[in-house]
Chains A and B, each alone.
Chain A
Amino acid sequence: NGSQLGMSDYYVLI
């Protein structure tokens, strides 16, 4: 089913 990416793979904390 594939592995799940997370928000931190795309966006950085500000």
Chain B
Amino acid sequence: MFEARLVSSGTLKKVLDAIKDLLNEASFDCSDTGIQLQAMDSSHVSLVSLSLRADGFDKYRCDRNLTMGMNLASMTKILKCANNDDTVTVKAQDDADCVTFVFESKKQEKISDYEMKLMNLDQEHLGIPETDFSCVIHMPSGEFSRICRDLSQFGESVIISCTKEGVRFSSSGDIGSANIKLAQTNNIDKEEETVSIDLQEPVTLTFACQYLNSFTKATPLSNRVSLSMSANVPLVVEYEIPDLGHIRYYLAPKIEE
């Protein structure tokens, strides 16, 4: 038996919004420690890694490890049927071929359940080693989203250049070029607005805007984001989901032809 309950359906909706741009379907691996998902987008350029801890749920039970392959468009249809403040319970029997979503309104006057067929998906797990990154940038997630949106008007790629002075985002194309520089801040009063850089050595890498913009769909999950870069490994964009887990996106860089 698997059963996971969240007081707010809105949180699950935000998690789904954060992955459905990149993935059409995904396998949710459930164990007694929580729910994990690792999947590449169809072009295998980026990878999504989601972790939701068992103790982040209001109720969590997983008697046997279970992999639930879900079509995310179908899951979106079902979650649209919930109000954000409805409680959601996700349930499945061991070896089940379907999953049930139960939505309960705050006053319990309305209870609805939706059953969805599960899919058998090919599991393609990648081994991702622990990496000591050359630089890790912590910044407001809204600012990162704004920068990606603004720069994608100029070109298909963004160059991210991190030095001890700060981080520079650049893009160029037919209409011209754009540069956004962020300096480290020391605003202790508003910690959530700070930009901080842990730098071992300067790094400059080029990334496709399209994927960065998809990653920023996770912005409603967290007011902070971290960007981790090293010269010869993919960028890691991480959003902590408060009290529940995290979502990480990996993006392979572009290289000079």
> Given known contacts A12-B126, A14-B126, is B47 in contact with A7 (CB within 8 Å)?
yes
Give every chain A residue within 8 A of B156 (Cβ-Cβ). Answer: 1
| Cross-chain contact B208 with A4 (CB below 8 angstroms) | yes
Q: Which stretch from B84-92, B175-183, B246-254 is at the chain A interface? A: B246-254
Q: How far is the CA of A5 from the CA of B256 in the complex (A)?
A: 11
> Given known contacts A11-B128, A12-B126, is B157 in contact with A5 (CB within 8 Å)?
no
Q: How many cross-chain pairs have Cβ atoms below 8 Å apart between A and B?
A: 54
Q: Which of B198-257 contact A (CB under 8 A)?
A: 206, 208, 233-234, 250, 252-257
Can you spell out 29 A-B residue pairs with CB atoms less than 8 angstroms apart? A1-B155, A1-B156, A1-B157, A1-B254, A2-B206, A2-B254, A2-B255, A2-B256, A2-B257, A3-B254, A3-B255, A4-B45, A4-B254, A5-B45, A5-B253, A5-B255, A6-B44, A7-B44, A7-B45, A7-B47, A7-B250, A10-B233, A10-B234, A11-B126, A11-B127, A11-B128, A13-B125, A13-B127, A14-B125
| Cross-chain contact A7 with B256 (CB below 8 angstroms) | no
Q: A9 — nearest CB in chain B belongs to which residue?
A: B252
Chain A: number of interface residues, binned into ranges: 10 to 19
- By Cβ-Cβ distance, the 7 closest A-B pairs, closest first, are A2-B254, A11-B126, A5-B252, A14-B127, A6-B44, A1-B157, A3-B257
Query: Separation in Å of the B40 CB from the closest CB of chain A?
Result: 5
Q: How far is the CA of A9 from the CA of B257 in the complex (A)?
A: 15
Q: How far is the CA of A12 from the CA of B154 in the complex (A)?
A: 34
* Beyond known contacts A6-B252, A14-B127: 8 more, CB 8 A cutoff: A1-B156, A2-B157, A2-B257, A4-B252, A7-B126, A10-B233, A13-B126, A13-B127
Query: Separation in Å of the B210 CB from the closest CB of chain A?
Result: 10
Q: A14 — nearest CB in chain B belongs to which residue?
A: B127
Give every chain A residue within 8 A of B125 (Cβ-Cβ). Answer: 13-14
Q: How far is the CA of A12 from the CA of B127 in the complex (A)?
A: 6
Give every chain A residue within 8 A of B253 (Cβ-Cβ). Answer: 5
Give every chain A residue within 8 A of B157 (Cβ-Cβ). Answer: 1-2
Q: A6 — nearest CB in chain B belongs to which residue?
A: B44
Per-position contact with A for B114-143: 1 when CB-CB < 8 Å, else 0? 000000000011111000000000000000
Q: B40 — nearest CB in chain A belongs to which residue?
A: A7
Query: Separation in Å of the B256 CB from the closest CB of chain A?
Result: 5
Q: A11 — nearest CB in chain B belongs to which residue?
A: B126
B43 close to chain A: CB less than 8 A? yes
Q: A12 — nearest CB in chain B belongs to which residue?
A: B127
Give every chain A residue within 8 A of B252 (Cβ-Cβ). Answer: 4-7, 9-10
Q: A8 — nearest CB in chain B belongs to which residue?
A: B44
